[in-house]
Chain A
Amino acid sequence: MSAAAVAVDGGDLTLSGGLLALVRPALLSMAPGGVLALRSSSPGVRQDLPSWCRMERHEYLGCEPQPDGRDRHLIRRGAFGVPRPTFAGVADADPHTGFAPAGALVEPGGPAYPVTLTHRDLALPPETRVLYDQAVAAQWDVADLAWDRVRPLPPAVESALVQIMTFLAENELSALYVPSKFVARLHPAFAETAMFLATQLMDEARHIDVFLRRAGGARGVSSVTTARSLLALLQLEDFTEAAFLLSVLGEGTFLDLLRFIEVHAPDEVTADLARRTRADEARHVHFGIAHVRHVLSVDPPAAGRLEAAVRRRSAALAGINGVPAPIQDALTILAAGGDEPARLNRGHEAFQQLLADMHEGRLKRLLHAGFTPAQAQVLSDLHTPNFM
């Protein structure tokens, strides 16, 4: 009897009656050149198996009658269509593996997918999996806030709050759109990054919802400064630059802004929403810092490219001086607790302190991301007056 690596008992099944469900998986599991033995009592299989082997480019080696009257067919597995393993730890992912999950066996010859983020160092920052798990665990519901406790505010504070909520929602829309650009560019081997970004998108969607709900039926002003500043973010085409400008610098600065809103909130709901959104934003900032820090550690000259990106954006915003007036005034009134002249001085001082805190916070985060103190100083100074 000839030797075979794998043996299958086909009973009396015909080729069209289910036999292939035994033969095909057995051959698929074998390396090219391996021999499969198939026992069969179906006479038609003698006719059909050689033809099927020809169609599938396996080699039909012949049929050995057995003492029990059954046939023992031998097939040598052909060389075509041998799936290749994909490796989870690969540095450069092959666009031809498409949406096959990491670790799947992939049949060669498939089309190349139009993904551009194929290099692990650029596509999968350390800690992504942990941050994804944290994000999933930390999801919250807009309905969790005590909306029924919202009471009418003094008109000046109410309109300041409407302006602030409008501004926050507008900026969060950019934080929804910008990462979404990169999801489809990520090689699916680094799907964890796409999954993390999905939580970020969900966070931003919830933030937009909660900010606009707090604004009630009213809306504030959208300034040209904000529009230009956010367009410069939306136009970024490099994932690392986007992570740096949006998450490290923009959302990082927003951490201080949300803290300011929480501290000066006129009611519990506003403080609560600022606290909750800030916790989400901190995760995004953490992701951005981990990304940039990793890129700088494997490719130190990237610091120059990131600085150039900040300079380009700054140049695009040239001529804009200072924080957009509607948001500056609203933050001042919020901190003052009203628009009476006696209070506004205190509000103005708080706003000045906010700008200083934002600068300090940016310096800390830039150092944490791997920039030198001198680089951090330059980059923080060049950051947009729009905060995000």
Chain B
Amino acid sequence: MGDAILLGAVAYDPKVVTIWEGIRDYFRGEGVDFDFALFSNYERQVEELLAGHIDIAWNTPLGHVRVQKRSGGQSRSLGMRDSDRDFHAKLIVRRDAEIRSPADLAGRTLAVGSRDSTQARILPLHFLRREGVDLDRVTLLPFDTDLGKHGDTGSSELDVLRAVADGRAHAGTVGDLVWVAEQAAGRVDAKLVEVLWTTPGFDHCMFDAMPSLGDAAVRAFQEALFRMSWEVPSHRRVLELEGLRQWLPPRETGYVSLRAALDEIEGW
């Protein structure tokens, strides 16, 4: 019990229990002593990681860059989903709003997701500013749902799409996966709305550990993690729920824009 690697995850949905019980059973089957603890929000999880109460935190990008900053760069990044790489955000517009470029947002209403959602609020607004859009001249319609979950539930992104579709907003910002998944599922009316603009890419979630987690434990965790396979039925069930096909090694290049955005809005 005392030697188990203890991982923290945020319970943003009941399926989180299924996911981590599945991964715990898998890890134990692979000979890795592993357990997990669930938190109600990422702020609490980050504090508990920094305090040494958990060994690893499954973090959103916001949680990840905060851990790195608060640990003075001492934290260790252990891995990410394939779907965490090259995330983008989309600017969705009403066809009847006559918005031909991001600059046309001036004087219009822009629906945005939760203020702690990287893909539906923080980074799309950051990149729109970079694009030269004066956000002071744009009326924001924010959907601050599920605060503390950092946009994991996706509910604020669906709120944004609904607001654009029913005319409460002229445009809206959502993550690329929600946008294409809604289209692929046939839930987007292409006569009403269309995509106008795509942000540059950025990376998403990350397993963060503190240096106190030894090399052997890190190695055991990573080796077992990367052995999970989409083609093994019991693994696939967990991977589907967690939204990935394969686990990948960490990379840090995809968080530069998020740090810049947090500096800009004093959002640390």
A51 to B88 Cα, complex, angstroms: 8
Asked if A55 contacts B233 (CB within 8 A), the reply is no
CB B106 to nearest CB in A, in angstroms, measures 21
CB B4 to nearest CB in A, in angstroms, measures 29
CB B196 to nearest CB in A, in angstroms, measures 7
The B interface is mostly helix, strand or loop, or mixed, namely mixed
- Which of B179, B194, B197, B231 is within 8 Å of A51, CB to CB? B179
B230 within 8 A of partner (CB): yes
B188 within 8 A of partner (CB): yes
Asked if A54 contacts B231 (CB within 8 A), the reply is no
**Cβ proximity bits B191-206 to A, threshold 8 Å, 1 near / 0 not:** 0001111100000000
A48 within 8 A of partner (CB): yes
A265 to B181 Cα, complex, angstroms: 72
A14 to B176 Cα, complex, angstroms: 15
What is the size category of the interface that chain B forms with chain A?
20 to 34
Q: B residues 62-84 with Cβ under 8 Å of A? A: 82-83
Known A55-B177, A109-B233, A109-B236; contact A48-B183, beta-carbon cutoff 8 A? yes
CB A63 to nearest CB in B, in angstroms, measures 13
- Which of A51, A108, A110 is within 8 Å of B180, CB to CB? A51
A179 to B183 Cα, complex, angstroms: 48
Asked if B90 contacts A47 (CB within 8 A), the reply is yes
Taking CB atoms, residues of chain B closer than 8 Å to A15 are 180, 183-184, 190
Taking CB atoms, residues of chain B closer than 8 Å to A137 are none
Asked if A109 contacts B177 (CB within 8 A), the reply is no
Residue with the greatest number of chain B CB neighbours at <10 A, chosen from A16, A20, A80, A96: A16
Known A47-B197, A54-B86; contact A111-B233, beta-carbon cutoff 8 A? yes
A16 to B184 Cα, complex, angstroms: 6
Asked if A80 contacts B177 (CB within 8 A), the reply is no
A44 within 8 A of partner (CB): yes
Asked if A48 contacts B195 (CB within 8 A), the reply is yes
A57 within 8 A of partner (CB): yes
CB A352 to nearest CB in B, in angstroms, measures 61
CB B190 to nearest CB in A, in angstroms, measures 4
**Cβ proximity bits A8-19 to B, threshold 8 Å, 1 near / 0 not:** 000000111100
B186 within 8 A of partner (CB): yes
In the complex formed, the residue of A with least CB distance to B186 is A16
**Cβ proximity bits B12-32 to A, threshold 8 Å, 1 near / 0 not:** 000000000000000000000
- Which of B90, B179, B190 is within 8 Å of A14, CB to CB? B190
CB A28 to nearest CB in B, in angstroms, measures 14
Query: How many chain A residues touch B (Cβ–Cβ < 8 Å)?
Result: 21
In the complex formed, the residue of A with least CB distance to B190 is A17
A115 to B90 Cα, complex, angstroms: 47
Asked if A80 contacts B230 (CB within 8 A), the reply is yes
A318 within 8 A of partner (CB): no
Taking CB atoms, residues of chain B closer than 8 Å to A50 are 88, 198
**Cβ proximity bits A255-274 to B, threshold 8 Å, 1 near / 0 not:** 00000000000000000000
In the complex formed, the residue of B with least CB distance to A13 is B190
B108 within 8 A of partner (CB): no
Asked if A54 contacts B233 (CB within 8 A), the reply is no
In the complex formed, the residue of B with least CB distance to A54 is B86
Asked if B176 contacts A54 (CB within 8 A), the reply is yes
Asked if A48 contacts B230 (CB within 8 A), the reply is no
A16 to B82 Cα, complex, angstroms: 24
A62 to B197 Cα, complex, angstroms: 16
- Which of A16, A54, A109 is within 8 Å of B188, CB to CB? A16
In the complex formed, the residue of A with least CB distance to B183 is A16
Taking CB atoms, residues of chain B closer than 8 Å to A20 are 183-184
A20 to B83 Cα, complex, angstroms: 20
**Cβ proximity bits A100-139 to B, threshold 8 Å, 1 near / 0 not:** 0000000011111000000000000000000000000000
Known A57-B245, A109-B233, A111-B233; contact A52-B180, beta-carbon cutoff 8 A? yes
B232 within 8 A of partner (CB): yes
Q: B residues 142-190 with Cβ under 8 Å of A? A: 176-177, 179-184, 186, 188-190
A48 to B183 Cα, complex, angstroms: 9
Given contact pairs A50-B198, A109-B230, enumerate 8 new A-B contacts (beta carbons under 8 Å).
A14-B190, A16-B182, A16-B184, A47-B198, A51-B177, A51-B198, A80-B230, A109-B233
23 A-B residue pairings within 8 Å (CB atoms): A14-B194, A15-B180, A15-B190, A16-B182, A16-B184, A16-B186, A16-B188, A16-B189, A16-B190, A20-B184, A44-B194, A47-B195, A48-B180, A51-B88, A51-B90, A51-B180, A54-B177, A55-B176, A55-B177, A57-B245, A80-B245, A109-B232, A110-B233
Q: Which residues of A are in contact with B by a Cβ distance under 8 Å?
A: 14-17, 20, 44, 47-48, 50-52, 54-55, 57, 80, 96, 108-112
